[in-house]
Amino acid sequence: MRLKVISLVIGILSGLSACSTTEKATNVTVTEDNQQQRIPDVLNASGLFNKAISKQGIHKIQLLYSAREAAIIEQDWQTLEQACLALESKNSVDHVQNKLYIALARKEMANYTDALSILRTLSEQLKLPEHQGWHQYLMGSIYASQQLPKKALVHYFKASDIAYQNNLTFASLNDETWRALQQLSSYALERFDTGSVVQQGWTKLAKYQQIYLGTGVELHQAMNNWQRRFINHPASYILPKEVTQAVLLSPYETKKLAILLPQSGPSERLGAALKNGFLAASDNWPDSEIFFIDEMQTNIEIEAQLAQNQADFVIGPLLKNNIEKLSDSSTLHVLPTIHLNTKSSQSQQNPNHYYFALNPEHEVEQALVHFLAKKYQKPMLLAPDSSSGKRLVEHFSEQWRLYSEAAPEVGLYTDSKNMAKVIANLLEVENSKQRIKTIESLYRKTDIESETRSRRDIDVIYILGNASETRLLKPYLDVNVSTFAPKIPLYASSRSYSRRIDTTDKSDLEGLYFTEQPWMLPNTTDNRALRNQYMQLWPEQADIEQRLFAMAFDAVALIGEIKQLAKIPGKEFIGLTGQLSIKSDNTIHRRLKWAQYYKQQIRTINLNEQAPLPLFMQSAAAENRILKK
């Protein structure tokens, strides 16, 4: 049976509206020799629209139809919107289809609020399968644009079911469905592996790709089994391309691993900590040769050693200025590399270069997602008045503004002496004390019992200080929050935690939640034997050295996984430093463990990290909930 094609190229749903033709200029003969003719001018979308404005009646409508279809082909979204708005007043127009075109144009121009509003108003007017499918596709694509693949797939699967049941094809739907699926973790894919045959087919294909990626024979077998089970599935077209690419994603074959780390200068101590981690990881690489190069050397010296040792993979450098220094190195450019820091602004895009850093911004984002999942409205941030403290506060505030109209309160302290004052001012405790003094002055002969009150709108506090600062801040917060008010939950980053300091009494930190890499938490890492051996060898090492050891160990372990992580954003690697994945730009993203001080012990917990809705979507979601009641 021949499929009806509803695509952007030929004009989605155009068969439901009046036919239209593109007007062309009349042929004009050249008068010189009557042999050459002028080639007819074909107007583009903008030209057709401008010509339509000067016309009347059916001729105007035909030109507007032509401008609309040309605008889709040219991806001229502004002209598409203009042509559709001009057609809205015409009785002969399919107004549902026309509104869908307007929603498409506004979505493509990143005017998501208006696009979503139009789609919501059309929900009750969708009678035809073509309209219903296209409506679901547009809803999904808006969610996908906001990095919400789970919500996007709910609509993509509905559109795919409509297309399958009615022999329709919606342009870009299959490609976007596949992209969204590749962003899901294996756990999320399991949750989607239900529902219709179409949905299960999509989900199982994505699961097979994650499981067998880079395995060659096993992947082919899994794909063949899938194809026999899901005959004529819309995802079938993906198989040849994906299988070919997946086979090419076999792990890097590393025989000679070069590691660049600081072996001289002020960062030598950090280099030594890394070296311990690399050597510990080398036990799992018995067939590979590892050699170390001092990254503080000149480019010429480093390149010479890479060539002399015939390196086929590189880890490092650690220091960002050395990454910048080597950004122009032709030798390093051709070698697959895991840099141990964030990407330099001077670094060119290289598909075989990756960036692995203990990035505190990832922790800030993880905490923010949890706060929004808990529906906290007014966070208070406490951070040192330093460049790093201000950077993290600004990063949190920028991200928070995408999801909330209420700006967070920020307190920056310079040292331990002014912490109490900063907290008291933020919680407006001083105002309460002043009111008490005023009342006491009016009733001097009467004993008045009083207690200060703190502001009630702060509903969560996030500490970005180090371990010593956190242990000073927590008691100040306890005494400045009014006993009449609900207890404000306290959170902190991994900077607040120290294995060395934490051997003392933990009672001052009771109830505090914080993020930390598994390696640093007691009885959390899966590799207990490695942790015990580490503590026997280096029982007195500082926290930064312990974290760098785990980072080095993970960097070596990532070599066999990193191609696949870069290919599938939803694929994760469980490491000593956290759950590692690559979302974009070959940057390794870390998701840390949540822990809490509880009864003078530390316990790991799972906290809600449901992806938040952007601000422009929240009002629509609230209205939908009201309508469903």
- pLDDT, residue 435, reads 44
pLDDT category, 626, cuts 50, 70, 90?
very low
Helix (H) or strand (E) segment spanning residue 530: helix 528-537
3-state secondary structure 123-158: HHHCCCHHHHHHHHHHHHHHHHHCCCHHHHHHHHHH
pLDDT category, 318, cuts 50, 70, 90?
very high
Residues 6 or more apart whose Cβ sits within 8 Å of residue 406: 377, 378
- In whole numbers, what is the pLDDT of the chain averaged over residues? 85
Q: Which of 485, 486, 487 is nearest to 474 (CA)?
A: 487
Provide the 3-class DSSP secondary structure of residue 290.
strand
Phi, psi of 168 (to 5 degrees): -115, 160
Phi, psi of 581 (to 5 degrees): -150, 170
- pLDDT, residue 29, reads 36
- pLDDT, residue 624, reads 57
* pLDDT tens by residue, 107-144: 999 999 999 999 999 988 999 999 999 999 999 999 99
**Residue 138 and residue 152: Cα distance in Å, rounded?**
9
- pLDDT, residue 267, reads 96
Helix (H) or strand (E) segment spanning residue 204: helix 197-212
Q: Which residue has the higher pLDDT, 598 or 3?
A: 598
Provide the 3-class DSSP secondary structure of residue 526.
coil
Residue 240 Cα distances to 3, 72, 228, 237, 385, angstroms = 22, 29, 15, 7, 55
Strand order in the sheet with 289-294: 289-294, 256-261, 313-315, 337-339, 353-355
**Residue 130 and residue 385: Cα distance in Å, rounded?**
58
* pLDDT tens by residue, 423-479: 888 887 555 445 445 444 545 545 544 445 456 788 999 999 999 999 999 888 876
Q: Where are the alpha helices (DSSP H) in 309-466?
A: 320-325, 330-333, 360-373, 387-400, 419-426, 429-442
**Residue 491 and residue 510: Cα distance in Å, rounded?**
11
Least confident range from 176-190, 419-433, 561-575, 605-619: namely 419-433
* pLDDT tens by residue, 179-227: 999 999 989 999 999 999 999 999 999 998 888 877 777 888 888 899 8
**Helical pair 387-400 and 360-373, crossing angle rounded to 10 deg:** 40
Which tokens in the block code for residue 15? 């068969």
* pLDDT tens by residue, 338-370: 999 998 777 778 999 999 999 999 999 999 999
Q: Could you tell me the pTM of the whole model?
A: 0.84
pLDDT category, 622, cuts 50, 70, 90?
low
Q: Which residue has the higher pLDDT, 294 or 23?
A: 294
490-502 burial, b if ≥16 CB within 10 A, otherwise e?
A: bbbbbbbbbbeeb
* pLDDT tens by residue, 3-40: 333 344 333 433 333 333 333 333 333 333 444 444 44
Residues 6 or more apart whose Cβ sits within 8 Å of residue 387: none
What's the N-to-C CA distance of the chain in angstroms? 43
- pLDDT, residue 247, reads 58
- pLDDT, residue 430, reads 56
- pLDDT, residue 23, reads 36
Q: Which residue has the higher pLDDT, 538 or 436?
A: 538
Which tokens in the block code for residue 139? 């809803």
- pLDDT, residue 625, reads 53
- pLDDT, residue 465, reads 95
**Residue 393 and residue 373: Cα distance in Å, rounded?**
20
- pLDDT, residue 248, reads 62
Q: Where are the alpha helices (DSSP H) in 146-291?
A: 149-165, 173-182, 186-192, 197-212, 217-229, 238-248, 268-281
- pLDDT, residue 9, reads 38
Contact (CB, 8 A) for 311 and 258: yes
